[in-house]
Amino acid sequence: MLKGMVEECYFETVIEAINAGHSKLVAHKEGVTGAAMLLSSMNNMEHEEAKQTIVALIFAPPRWNPAN
């Protein structure tokens, strides 16, 4: 359940960042940060530990062409 919440947070943040005109790299970084903040707050983890956990899950921005 927690992984699903973290994953949802990541993808929502990524999509918002891409829709705001940011690159996929910037969107990914924002997604990782947002998901790490959520994980950190829910599991009483240090932010860097939570960030490493999110990175290990290998989330990536969705592959689509926003022009379509």
User: How many residues belong to the chain?
Assistant: 68
Q: What residues contact residue 36 under an 8 Å CB cut-off, 6+ apart?
A: 47, 50, 51, 53, 54
DSSP character at residue 16: H
pLDDT of residue 63: 72
Residue 7 has pLDDT above 60, yes or no: yes
Span 9-68, pLDDT tens digits? 999 999 999 999 999 999 999 999 999 999 999 999 999 999 999 999 888 877 755 543
Residue type, 68: N
Token match 């940011």: residue? 22
Domain boundaries along the sequence of the chain: 2-56
Give the integer Cα–Cα distance in Å for 55 and 37: 13
